[in-house]
Amino acid sequence: MPQGAEHRAVCRGLQSVVNPPTVFSTPAGAAIAPYLRSLQTTGCLYKGQQVLMMGLCGGLTTKLAISDAVLYGDSFASTLHPCDRGLTTQIQSLLNVQMVHGVTSDRVIATIHDKQQLATQFNADVVDMESATALEILNAIGVSTAVLRVVSDDCHHNIPDLSNAFNAEGFLQTGALAIALLRQPIAATHLIRGSMHGLKILQDLTQKLFS
């Protein structure tokens, strides 16, 4: 899952789990590609393995609200990349969450208009910055992959423009983030509240799934 708050939320959910799974903290956006290839090179990713991607996402349709948990059927970038059906079905039977279509963006989708445009153009329910890129690589390796995320912002509100908050390596820059939040305080409030709720659900889902 993405480094930072999402990674910490999942690790908190695993604290009481006996024999927890291996957890990798990934960079955001396109930088996840070289990171995953490095894991393959070192033998951490291999054919036949099972991987669950977790994190937050943005809701693009009115059927999704903040704190809703979703399982991806697939995610689109330049092409459509499917999740592993068997692993996804197994997780859904344990958690009973909604199935959605995802789209991966190379930037944070901040405005209501842009969210509506993505939903219409790609028939997508949610957006994030990593899933399709990761699925392309993991599917090519032969890794069975599922994607479980929690909606942290919905289609009814703007969030701050965080385009400059991530560096080229996919890591959040706290100074740039603070400036973006201060420039748009109302949008920042929606983002912070939604993220806090989403992270709590992410922690709870982790504990439930692996317990």
CATH no. for 5-202: 3.40.50.1580
3 state DSSP class of 19: coil
Segment 132-176, tens digit of pLDDT: 999 999 999 999 999 999 999 999 999 988 877 777 777 777 787
Per-domain residue ranges of the chain: 5-202
| 183 pLDDT tier (thresholds 50, 70, 90) | confident
What's the pTM? Answer: 0.93
**By C-alpha distance, which of 41, 71, 67 is closest to 53?**
71
